[in-house]
Copies of this chain bind each other. A is one copy, B any other.
Amino acid sequence: MNADEGRSREAVEAARSSGTLHGELLAALRDFIVEGHLEDGVRIPERALCERFSISRTPLREALKVLAAEGLIELLPNRGARVRELSAADLRELFDVMGGLESLAGRLACERITDAEIAEIERVHHEMYHFYLRRDVHGYFRCNQAIHQMIVAAAGNTLLASTYAGLAGRIRRVRYAANLAKDRDRLSEAMREHEAILDALRRRAGSELSDILFLHLRNKLKAAQPAA
Contacts and interface: CB of A to CB of B under 8 A. Distances in A.
B104 A19 contact: no
A12 B58 CA distance: 20
Interface residues of A, number: 64
A87 to B, nearest CB: 4
Given A15-B75, A76-B11, A93 B22 contact: no
A160 B107 contact: no
Contact of A62 (B62, B71, B157, B167): B62
Contacts of A214: 104, 107, 210
A122 to B, nearest CB: 25
A96 interface: yes
**Helix, strand, loop or mixed for chain A's interface?**
helix
A115 interface: no
Interface in A5-52: 5-8, 10-12, 14-15, 18-20, 22-23, 41
Interface string A148-190: 0000000001111001001100100000000000000000000
A212 to B, nearest CB: 10
Interface string A106-118: 0110000000000
A1 interface: yes
A12 B2 CA distance: 22
B167 A6 contact: yes
Given A85-B8, A159-B93, A69 B104 contact: no
**8 nearest A-B pairs in the assembled complex, by CB-CB distance:** A100-B104, A6-B71, A93-B159, A5-B87, A11-B74, A8-B74, A19-B77, A1-B69
